[in-house]
Amino acid sequence: MRSTLTRIRRHRRIARTRPSTDGVAVFYGHDRIPGPEDVAHGGMVKFQHLERLFPNEPSAFNVLYLGSSTRPADSSDLIRLARERGAAVAWNQDGVAYPGWHGPGWERTNEPLAEGLHAADHVFFQSDFCRLSSDRFLGPLRGAAEVLPNPVDTELFTPAERPERPLTLLLGGNQYQRYRLAAALETLRLLPDARLLVAGRLSWDPDPRAVRRELPSLLAGLEDRVELLGPYSQAEAPALYRRADVLLHTKYNDPCPTAVLEALACGLPVVHSASGGTPELVGDAGIGVEAPLDWEHDHPPAAEALAAAVLACTERLDALAATARSRALRFDVGPWLERHRVVFEELVR
């Protein structure tokens, strides 16, 4: 009831507020964007970057910019209100629901994504893979669109001198799929001299008690070599990456992982599932484990292949660290912000 009343008040506030006529005013679909000290990942991080250039304007906006991975529950109403006031609509398309990942009901999950995508005046796809999956599951797009990968602040995320320590792997992002953590732990078992940092919330089961019950068996025999770090903010993230030597990215068909870009900027080569949009980001700054393109089943990377890739990286760790940093500069946030500025100004002319 409270959330319904909050939405009603929000919609009334928007309806009675005239849109700005003084340049670009952007609303990101959320009344507040988390600050750098707040826990935020993926799609919300993009809006944190954009707030530097276009502060969030929940009432007098003339551009509504929604992200598929951060879509507010009332996105349909917000799009309608934007149209009623003559505001432009932009859409940032990340991943889609497909049978292998989502299971039954994937069609319903995609319905509001398709609505937002096809209602937009301009669409930013986060990767070529995002466009491929969108065309397949949300329908081919006829309007203005482009591929614009996620950005990284290369002045905030920087390398550091590597101290003397055991080889340290990082499993970044959030662990909302059990296989991601399981694959990393099985890889660690094959690397007896290595350690593993596990970042993010362990949330593959909606019941935290179920997660806690499963953890002991997953960690059995590895307790002294695994550190569970929990959720982290953007302000805390650079120090976290600098504690590691290699990012282990085990997610299958990841559309455009920001954690990969942040790791590259900090000089971490990436061992990853060669699926989704991840290879588009990593290039030659790491090693991908071969994976098929499959929408019906997910294919977690095999621990043996991941461990072999990690060992191959360690043989040229310094060179790969330099390549990773150089690769990340292609995705610096500056040009990304500038492209949004150009598009938004064109939309409000």
As a three-state string, the secondary structure of the chain is CHHHHHHHHHHHHHHHCCCCCCCCCEECCCCCCCCCCCECCCHHHHHHHHHHHCCECCCCCCEEEEEHHHCCCCHHHHHHHHHHCCCEEEEEECCCCCHHHHCCCHHHHHHHHHHHHHHCCEEEECCHHHHHHHHHHCCCCCCEEEECCCCECCCCCCCCCCCCCCCEEEECCCECCHHHHHHHHHHHHCCCCCEEEEECCECCCCCHHHHHHHHHHHHCCCHHHEEEEECCECCCHHHHHHCCCEEEECCCCCCCCHHHHHHHHCCCCEEEEECCCHHHHHCCCEEEEECCCCCCCCCCCCHHHHHHHHHHHHCCHHHHHHHHHHHHHHHEHHHHHHHHHHHHHHHCC
Query: Rounded to an integer, what distance in angstroms lies between the CA atom of residue 74 and that of residue 8?
Result: 10
Beta carbons within 10 angstroms of residue 27's beta carbon = 24
Query: Rounded to an integer, what distance in angstroms lies between the CA atom of residue 290 and that of residue 287?
Result: 9
* Residue 6: predicted pLDDT: 83
* Residue 1: predicted pLDDT: 55
Query: Rounded to an integer, what distance in angstroms lies between the CA atom of residue 19 and that of residue 14?
Result: 9
Question: Do 168-331 and 2-151+332-347 have the same topology in CATH?
Answer: yes
Query: What digits encode the pLDDT tens for the residues 161-195?
Result: 999 999 999 999 889 999 999 999 999 999 999 99
* Residue 7: predicted pLDDT: 87
- Domain extent listing, the chain: 2-151+332-347, 168-331
* Residue 35: predicted pLDDT: 84
Name the residue among 102, 110, 15 with its Cα closest to residue 58.
15
Q: Does domain 168-331 have CATH number 3.40.50.2000?
A: yes
* Residue 40: predicted pLDDT: 74
* Residue 183: predicted pLDDT: 97
* Residue 8: predicted pLDDT: 87
C-alpha Rg value of the chain to the nearest Å: 21
Output the pTM of the full model: 0.94
The CA-CA-CA angle for residues 306, 180, 295, to 5°, reads 95
Q: Look up residue 42 and give its two tokens.
A: 């993926």
| Domain made up of 2-151+332-347: CATH architecture | 3-Layer(aba) Sandwich (3.40)
Query: What digits encode the pLDDT tens for the residues 279-307?
Result: 999 999 999 999 999 999 999 999 999 99
Please, what sign has the CA dihedral across residues 35, 39, 44, 49?
A: positive
Per the CB < 8 A criterion, the answer to whether 120 and 68 are in contact is: no
Provide the CA 254 distance to its chain's centre, in angstroms: 8
* Residue 34: predicted pLDDT: 87
Half-sphere exposure of 80 (CA within 13 A, CB side): 8
* Residue 4: predicted pLDDT: 83
* Residue 173: predicted pLDDT: 85
* Residue 217: predicted pLDDT: 96
* Residue 106: predicted pLDDT: 97
Query: Rounded to an integer, what distance in angstroms lies between the CA atom of residue 132 and that of residue 147?
Result: 11
Please, what sign has the CA dihedral across residues 165, 166, 170, 171?
A: negative
Q: Which residues in the chain show pLDDT less than 70?
A: 1-2
Per the CB < 8 A criterion, the answer to whether 286 and 303 are in contact is: no
Name the residue among 286, 289, 277 with its Cα closest to residue 323.
286
